[in-house]
Structure 1
Amino acid sequence: MSGLRQDDIALAGEYVLGTLPGTERQAAVRRIATDPDFAREVARWESRFDPLADEVTPVAPPGRVWGGVETRVFGRPERTGAGLWRWLAGASGLSVAFLAALLTLGEPILPARGPLLVSDMVSQDGAVRLAALYDSETGEMRVSMGGDAPAPGHDFELWVIAGNAAPISLGVMPRQGKAAMPIPEAIRPMLADATLAITEEPLGGAPEGVATGPLVAKAALRRI
């Protein structure tokens, strides 16, 4: 049982609902990365609200109207691209916590010419979280790692699983923070219907490119 106070539980709920003002939201993002009990409570709130997103059919607006929507609804796009992420939350049903994690990547995200794929991986106990965004136009995947670090002498490794094929390593993850990963051209076509997974492997990655460690988290890539 967590030692969170009722105020902390309510704070986690407000975070997931997206009602916290900017400074409090930033503090909550930092707390998710450092407080496992709070991260688990956020995950519990998300599990309560996520089924509601299943009842919403995503509708992608034509690219030609994006500029007008961004300006009229959110004002001029800021350097952080926060307006875009607010739009993505409404259009795709992605969790607020996941979008906040993506914002920590720290680069403006502009409307892409090709599909964007996203994945939100959270361990069962809520202690490890990884947000991933793949841009099919550039072939680059950006990831943001938060929560607990791997055990001493180990690394987290990211894998892509397409159908019944064997997992393919995408590389060792940063222990905390962000990274940009160019995806090999041979792997890119697999991503549209793939699942991402994190395992805990020996330092430097799995021997001979074959997963040996325990599964930490997994989630499907979703198109937005």
Structure 2
Amino acid sequence: MNYENQTLIDMLAAEYVLGTLRGSARDRFTRLMLTSTRAREATWMWEQHLNNLASSIESVPPDEHVWQKIVSRIDPQVIPITSKPNKSKSSILQAWSLIATAACIVLALIIWQPQEITKVKSEQIALFKNEAEQPLWFIDVKDENLSIRAATALVPRTDKDYELWMILKGKDAPVSLGLLPKSGTLELSKHIEFDATEISLLAISLEPLGGSPNGSPTEVLFTTELIIL
């Protein structure tokens, strides 16, 4: 199997995080992560994405009328509980009766729980890669800011800065979103014009320390699209 293929690495990482990669294939990928930066970065990206999706789904407690329907369909029986443990046949039957009643309640709750449609908040992400298909920066769009993480494959220049830009549909001039981190994670405030549906492209430029001197990209290094999930 060609582990130099970034597309394959991304697919395996996604299955690994989802739990659908099993058996010897999962063991091989686990060993691969110990030595492959690509595998670790891809796995981290999918973990971030899926965790954000999971956290955006709120649990919905059952309404009071659901419990009323459950009670109306179950013949409640009062099971006396003695203060001292009793291992007689009668107490064993009572215990099993209690378990059966609890199981009925759970089953009825599942059956009668109204199927409400939960609105899942869309996720917006972007991933910049180099020519070798190695991840360099991962961008996760939040409500108020952009969470940007520099990958370990990034070898930044100390005499330059890296600046993030967005190109809006119908506009020629790129809009600066701020300087990127050279390591670790950085939060950038979301630009007032930032609208995922209006962004045609994201770009990274190489700039003098402190950023672009004239409000335009000096040397564009990488481009990518903003992905809406």
- TM superposition score normalised by structure 2: 0.53
Q: 1:176 to 1:26 in 2, by over 3 A?
A: farther
Q: Verify: 1:125 aligned to 2:132, yes or no.
A: yes
Measured in 1, the distance between the counterparts of 2:6 and 2:133 equals: 16
Contact 1:98 1:131 in 2 (8 A): no
Aligned to 2:145: 140
The amino acid of 2:203's aligned partner reads A
Aligned to 1:167: 174
Q: Is the radius of gyration larger for structure 1 or structure 2? A: 2
Q: Which of the residues 202, 205, 214 maps onto 1:208?
A: 214
Contact 1:104 1:144 in 2 (8 A): no
Q: Which of the residues 56, 60, 70 maps onto 1:111?
A: 56
Instruction: Quote the offset at 1:198 in angstroms.
Output: 0.9
Q: Verify: 1:193 aligned to 2:193, yes or no.
A: no
3-state SS, counterpart of residue 207 of structure 1 = coil
Q: 1:97 to 1:149 in 2, by over 3 A?
A: closer
- TM superposition score normalised by structure 1: 0.54
Q: Which of the residues 201, 225, 228 maps onto 1:223?
A: 228
Measured in 2, the distance between the counterparts of 1:199 and 1:132 equals: 15
Q: Which has the higher contact order (CA 8 A, sep 6+)?
A: 1
3-state SS, counterpart of residue 120 of structure 1 = strand
3-state SS, counterpart of residue 199 of structure 1 = strand
Measured in 1, the distance between the counterparts of 2:227 and 2:5 equals: 29
RMSD in angstroms over aligned alpha carbons? 3.5
Aligned to 1:70: none
Deviations 1:79-136 (A, max 9, x none): xxxxxxxxxxxxxxxxx9656236479xx6221764321112212233552211113x
Q: 1:142 to 1:25 in 2, by over 3 A?
A: farther
Instruction: Quote the offset at 1:173 in angstroms.
Output: 0.8
Aligned to 2:62: none
3-state SS, counterpart of residue 192 of structure 1 = helix
Deviations 1:161-197 (A, max 9, x none): 112331111111111222222203x2223x3231211
Contact 2:6 2:133 in 1 (8 A): no
3-state SS, counterpart of residue 209 of structure 1 = coil
Q: Percent identity?
A: 18
Contact 1:158 1:199 in 2 (8 A): yes
The amino acid of 1:211's aligned partner reads P
Contact 1:121 1:219 in 2 (8 A): yes
Aligned to 2:156: 150
**Structure 1 spans left out of the alignment, 5+ residues:** 1-5, 33-41, 43-95
Measured in 2, the distance between the counterparts of 1:128 and 1:98 equals: 8
**Structure 2 spans left out of the alignment, 5+ residues:** 14-20, 58-119
3-state SS, counterpart of residue 187 of structure 2 = strand
